Amino acid sequence: MLREMKLNPAELERVANLFRAFAEPTRLAILQELKAGERSVSEIVDSLHTSQANVSKQLKQLFDAGVVSRRKQGTQVIYGIADEMIFELCRMVCEKLNRDAVKPAELKF
C-alpha cells in the first residue's frame, strides 16, 4: 500500500525544496569539491571563483537541505557530504543530459 498515492501540497513543497538545493551551479560546484573529501569553508572559497560570503550562504542552504554535514574544528568549519545519494542523483541527471545531447562530450559528475 501507499504505492500510488499522490503527494499533498506540503509534501510536494518538501520534494521541490530538496531539488532546489541542486538547482544552482555554485552549489553544484561546492558539492563537486566535497566529493573528493571534507573541506573547510576557506578551502572551498579558494577552489571556487566567488566570495566567502557567497560560499557560506550556499553552504547554509545545502546544510539546511540535509545535503552536507558540518563540524567545527577550532576556528574553522569543516563541511562534508551528508548523504551519498547526491552523487547518484547527479549521475542520473548527467546521463539524461548525455542521452539528450547529440554531442559526443560526456558529462560525469
Residues numbered 38-57 forming contacts with DNA, rule: CB under 7 A: 40-42, 45, 50-54, 56-57
Dihedral of the alpha carbons of 7, 8, 13, 15, in degrees to the nearest 10: -10
Q: Tell me: does residue 23 bind its own copies (CB under 8 A).
A: yes
- Let me know: does 71 contact 41? Beta carbons within 8 Å: no
Among 57, 70, 85, 104, interactor with its own copies by CB under 8 A? 85
Taking alpha carbons only, the member of 106, 29, 37 closest to residue 62 is 29
Residue 11 exposed, middle or buried by CB count within 10 Å (0-12, 13-18, 19+) = exposed
Stretches 37-45, 54-62, 70-78, 81-89: which one binds its own copies (CB under 8 A)? 81-89
Q: Which is nearer to its own copies, 46 or 97 (CB)?
A: 97
Q: What nine digits make up the cell of 94? A: 548527467
Q: Which is nearer to its own copies, 40 or 69 (CB)?
A: 69
The residues of the shown chain that bind DNA, judged by CB under 7 A, are: 20, 24-27, 40-42, 45, 50-54, 56-61, 70, 72, 74-78
